[in-house]
Amino acid sequence: MAQIESFFHGTSSGTDPLICYLNKPVLIHPGGQIQIVKIPIYSTLTFFLLDTKIARSTGPMVHYFLEKCKEPTFSEKVDNELVAHTNLAIADFLQAEWEHLFEDVTEISRFQMEHLAGMTPDHFHAVWKKGLQGNLYRLKMCGAGGGGFILGCTRDWAATQLILSEFDLHLVKW
């Protein structure tokens, strides 16, 4: 699966085609063990996709990230901050710990804005920062960033739709 995905994106894990093949959500544990998981039925948070209307090319974004990871201080921050909060967010989601999940998404969003802003289109930085400054919604990159869709998380879908009315938003249902 990794070889198939790498054909399109350069270096890839193969996770996306695996999920498509299984048609089920999976959790990959350290060491490579794959576990099919159940998604919680109810959430106090609403997830949405913001369409940037910008075509993206994954390869250059992956290359940008990998180049940044060659810097030891950045690589350490990725492990200690981004990976740590991502793992917590996954656990919180699977355990339906919605307030903790919102906090973890906040940290992921903050990390991406502070350290990976070069991977998000410039004209989305203001709306991204506005989300971090308030307590209503958060944004995070989908995949390698660079355009395409941005994942959003909110405590109040109706209010978020009003604030982000200039953008094409798509509700995520599961």
- Give tens-digit pLDDT for 106-128: 999 999 999 998 888 888 999 99
pLDDT over 90 at 105, yes or no: yes
Q: What is the mean pLDDT of residues 43-48?
A: 95
pLDDT value for 8? 67
**In sequence order, what DSSP letters do the residues of 19-42 get, joined into one string?**
HHHHTS-EEE-TTS-EEE-PPPS-
pLDDT value for 10? 65
Highest mean pLDDT, choosing among 22-26, 54-58, 154-158:
154-158
pLDDT value for 77? 96
Q: What is the mean pLDDT of residues 115-143?
A: 92
Q: What's the predicted TM-score (pTM) here?
A: 0.86
Cα(148)–Cα(162) distance, integer angstroms: 22
pLDDT value for 121? 86
For 63, phi then psi, to 5°, come to -60, -45
Going by pLDDT thresholds of 50, 70 and 90, the confidence category of residue 11 is: low
Domains of the chain and any CATH numbers: 1-38 (no CATH), 41-171 (3.30.70.890)
pLDDT over 80 at 87, yes or no: yes
Beta-strand relationship, 149-154 and 46-51: antiparallel
Neighbour-count burial for 27-50, b at 16+ CB within 10 Å, e otherwise:
eeeeeeeeeeeeeeeeeebbbbbb
pLDDT value for 1? 75
